[in-house]
Amino acid sequence: MSLNTVMDNSLSAMFAAQAGLATTSHNIANADVEGYSRQMNMVEARRPLMFSFGAIGQGVDVATVRRAQDSFLLNTLRAQVAKGAQYGAMDSALYEIENILGSVDNDHLGEALNNFFGAWHELGTAPTVESLKELVVTRGQSLVNDMQSISSSLDDLEDNVDQRIEEEIERLNTLLRQVGDLNSQIMSAEIGGQPANDLRDQRDLLLTDISEIAAVTVAEREDGSLDVILNGRTMVTRSSVQEFTTRLQDTDAGYRIEVVTDGHYHDVQLPEGTLSGLLQSRDEVVGETREKLDEVASLLIGAVNDLHVQGQTGTSTGLLFFTGDSLHTIEVNPMLVENSALVATSRSGEAGDSDIAQAIAALSDSAVPGSNMTVNESYRSVVIDVASQRSGYEFLVDNQTASIQAVEAKIASVTGVSLDEEAASMVRYQNTYNAAARVIATVQEMFDSLINMV
């Protein structure tokens, strides 16, 4: 043992304190950076020198710089984020449909239906007033315009969902490529055996972003790279990435989300996330709402036409009131638009007789033959169903948001940077550095005394 040993011990302490101060300053600098994990210097005692009287230490080494991380909480967050994104996509689609249809208490098409049947009621009480026939046709056209406007709005919403699917696919592919690139950087940086903490933070943040689009699981390799697995299919292996593509089919199946491998297409069943929510919105929200509204239109067309074809006027008999068979194709018979006098009010065609007009007016309050609902009730059931689904998904979104915030708070307590703690560490490292410097100064004085003795 010599004074050099004491000097080396103090120098190692100064270096450890300097390294700790550097890490502390790095933590403070990145305190507000999204996804950053607090870093800590892990130190260990050097192997001591063994003497007959015992072991004398040789100072300290900085073994590694470790980041504070909890993989379980991080995986939980990704799962919760995926669920929240899916619920959010569904809620957004239902919100748009509510805007298209109107609320339960103020639905546009419901009012147009009431006005249409009201015009028939007025005609039924005064069948000889020709202007009331013109009112029936006008109200019919207004009803048709409302139906076609809803159909056009649903088309626009579907197109918007299609566009978002394409955008999310491209965003997902970009994120997967970035993970592959970070895998390469991390493998290169960790050749020496030390973790690339900042690069790992960036990769973890990307994986959370990916989970928002489609929930994934990860598996870490010994070289530091992560395999990204989506519903059993490995999308990223080291720097190799399999990208998604979409193909819109001409059938009712809609979108097919696929992965291209060696020039071949493979169907992918998407887990929870924005993409799954968008596909569900497209097929189950927009698609099913359109089907239900087509049923309402078909019920209206069939019920009114079944009665109107039984009527006759002085110049016509057996005319359809509506043409078409759906929300998109419904029209008022062009012959009636050109000449409202052809609107039939009765089976007999005699002046003052209004059994047909009264029967059509009654469709607003009486169940359509072959159905257990009126036309108005069939439409109102669609509006109520949409409102009920929206309420349900609003509840799910709120609950999921609270769950995500709770997990984020737990993660922040583990990985977040506390400026108060870092300030305390800074003082501790400063004191350590100063104490080691004083030891060195003392050793220097001892060297001087030794030299003066010679």
Q: What is the identity of the amino acid at 399? A: N
Render pLDDT for 195-231 as a digit per residue (tens, 0 to 9).
Answer: 999 999 999 999 999 999 999 999 999 999 999 999 8
Instruction: Grade residue 262 by pLDDT with cuts at 50, 70 and 90.
Output: low
Same domain, yes or no: 79 and 228: yes
Boundary residue ending a domain (237, 255, 283): 283
Please tell me the predicted confidence (pLDDT) of residue 254. Answer: 60
Q: Is residue 243 part of a domain?
A: yes
Same domain (yes/no): 118, 174: no
Q: Which of 251, 283, 315 is the last residue of a domain?
A: 283
Contacts for 136-139: CB closer than 8 Å, 24+ residues apart? 136/340, 136/343, 137/332, 137/336, 137/337, 137/340, 137/343, 139/112, 139/115
pLDDT at residue number 454: 65
Question: Looking at per-residue confidence, does 254 or 324 come out higher?
Answer: 324
Residue 351 belongs to a domain: yes
Residues 269 and 307 in one domain: no
In a domain, 49, yes or no: yes
Contacting residues for 91 by C-beta, under 8 A, at least 6 apart: 390, 393, 394, 396, 397
Is 102 among the domain residues?
A: no
- State pLDDT tens for residues 79-128: 999 999 999 999 999 999 999 998 766 678 889 999 999 999 999 999 88
Does residue 83 sit in the same domain as residue 216?
yes
Tell me if 328 is assigned to some domain.
yes
| pLDDT attached to residue 248 | 63
Range of 236's domain? 74-92+164-283
Asked whether residue 170 falls in the same domain as residue 46, the answer is: no
pLDDT value at residue 227? 97
Whether residues 279 and 290 share a domain: the answer is no
Under the banding of pLDDT at 50, 70 and 90, the label for residue 441 is very high
User: Last residue of a domain, which of 262, 283, 304?
Assistant: 283
Looking at the structure, do residues 276 and 295 belong to the same domain, yes or no? Answer: no
- What are the structure tokens assigned to 437, written together? 């410097």
Asked if residue 187 belongs to a domain, the reply is yes
Instruction: Give me the number of domains the chain comprises.
Output: 3
Q: How confident is the model at residue 20 (pLDDT cuts 50, 70, 90)?
A: very high
Q: What is the mean pLDDT of residues 288-309?
A: 95
Strand partners, 233: 230
Amino acid letter, 101: L
Q: Does position 244 have pLDDT exceeding 70, yes or no? A: yes
Q: Is the pLDDT at 252 greater than 60, yes or no?
A: no
With a cut of 90, say whether residue 69 has pLDDT above it: yes
Report yes or no on 396 lying in a domain: no
Q: What is the pLDDT of residues 161-190, one digit of tens each?
A: 989 988 999 999 999 999 999 999 999 999
Q: Which of 133, 117, 122 is nearest to 362 (CA)?
A: 117
Q: Which of 229-238, 262-271, 385-394, 415-424 shows the lowest per-residue confidence on average (mean pLDDT)?
A: 262-271
pLDDT value of position 321: 96
Residues 143 and 292 in one domain: yes
Tens-place pLDDT, residues 324-362? 999 999 999 999 999 999 999 999 888 889 999 999 999
Same domain, yes or no: 278 and 292 = no
Q: Is residue 326 part of a domain?
A: yes
Residue 84 sits in the same domain as residue 209: yes
Domain co-membership, 206 together with 86: yes
| Same domain (yes/no): 78, 193 | yes
Residue % of the chain over a pLDDT of 70: 94
